[in-house]
């Protein structure tokens, strides 16, 4: 089965031979726009257990684009060609806490890789979808001198992040934020109840890389029917370029039960 292509007709869960178990080693670069968005709209979209972190105008929010090379952290598994590769990813996440755990709630995620799509959804319950992601300019391509552009169009909305090549300052890299994923499991045939838990993924920084601040502009357009209507940035954004980092993802994971309650009869 190794090396076989994945399709939506493949069985679920996917055969383990389609990807290596966590942890994965991930290296590459990412571009992040930090901004604030409407508090009431965020609360209406996300789990009621999420307590958002508020800035001056709204919820602290990030749109992040990744260009990642990955391989299995297992020396034995890493020798298998299908257990390494690359992917692009775009994530909209909100800063805050769930069940007393602070971190970033990655509520909307897209990737161009079916392997990473399967790995993320089946191991961690991440809400990944398949989409085309456009990355261009000097930050993404060392042979280019063009302005940096990163964009995604999905679910009736489009984001385009444009940033200047020249760094304003070099930033200190702190500890990695917790990645928070609230999950809900139903057991209707065994007493009509549900279980809600919080999955906490703590990425481990192996090599911190280089983090710089840049001027930039986040362009957002959305149809009225889109789930993203009302999530436009409130004010300007702060842009960070992060390169040459190396992470271990999936080696430090905790599941924390949040709530257990009965369904109404």
The DSSP line for 125-155 is ---EEE--EEEESTTT-TT--SPEEEEEEET
Q: How many CB atoms within 10 Å of residue 174? A: 9
Q: To the nearest 10°, report the CA torsion of 153, 148, 218, 157.
A: 0
Give me the pLDDT at residue 259, please.
Answer: 52
Going from the C-alpha of 86 to that of each of 11, 35, 65, 112, 147, the distances in angstroms are 23, 28, 14, 9, 23
For each of the domains in the chain, give its residue range(s) and CATH number, in order of start.
19-176+202-252 (2.40.400.10)
Give me the pLDDT at residue 191, please.
Answer: 58
Gyration radius from the chain CA atoms? 19
Q: Residues 123, 124, 129, 132: is their CA dihedral positive or negative?
A: negative
How far is the C-alpha of 42 from the C-alpha of 108, rounded, in Å? 12
Which residues face 225 on adjacent strands? none
Indicate the pTM of the whole model: 0.89
The set of long-range contacts for 182-188, using a CB threshold of 8 Å and a minimum separation of 24, is 182/47, 182/49, 182/50, 182/98, 182/105, 182/258, 183/125, 188/263
One pLDDT digit (tens) per residue for the chain, 265 residues = 334 444 445 555 555 567 888 999 999 999 999 999 999 999 999 988 899 999 999 999 999 999 999 999 988 776 777 789 999 999 999 999 998 999 999 999 999 999 999 999 989 999 999 999 999 999 999 899 899 999 999 999 999 999 998 999 999 999 999 999 998 777 666 555 667 789 999 999 999 999 999 999 999 999 999 999 999 999 999 999 999 999 999 999 999 876 534 434 4
Diameter of the chain by CA atoms? 63
């Amino acid at each position: 089965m190794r090396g076989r292509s994945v399709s939506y007709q493949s069985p679920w869960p996917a055969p383990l031979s389609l990807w290596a178990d966590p942890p994965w080693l991930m290296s590459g670069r990412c571009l992040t726009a930090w901004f604030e968005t409407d508090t009431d709209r965020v609360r209406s979209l996300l789990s009621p257990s999420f307590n958002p972190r508020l800035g001056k105008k709204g919820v602290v929010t990030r749109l992040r684009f990744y260009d990642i090379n990955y391989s299995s952290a297992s020396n034995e598994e890493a020798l298998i060609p299908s257990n390494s590769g690359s992917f692009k990813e775009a994530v909209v996440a909100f800063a805050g806490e769930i069940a007393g755990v602070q971190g970033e709630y990655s509520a909307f995620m897209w990737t161009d890789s079916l392997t990473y799509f399967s790995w993320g959804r089946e191991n961690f319950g991440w809400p990944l979808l398949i989409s085309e992601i456009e990355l261009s300019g000097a930050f993404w391509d060392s042979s280019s001198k063009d302005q940096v552009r990163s964009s995604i169009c999905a679910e009736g909305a489009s984001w385009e992040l444009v940033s200047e090549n020249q760094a304003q300052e070099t930033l200190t890299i702190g500890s990695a934020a917790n990645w928070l994923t609230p999950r809900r499991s139903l057991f209707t045939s065994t007493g009509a109840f549900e279980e809600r838990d919080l999955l906490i993924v703590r990425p481990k920084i192996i090599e911190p890389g280089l983090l710089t601040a840049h001027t930039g502009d986040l362009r957002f357009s959305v149809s009225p029917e889109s789930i993203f209507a009302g999530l436009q940035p409130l004010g300007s954004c702060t842009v960070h370029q992060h390169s040459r980092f190396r992470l271990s993802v999936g080696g430090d994971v905790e599941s924390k039960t949040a709530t257990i309650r009965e369904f109404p009869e």
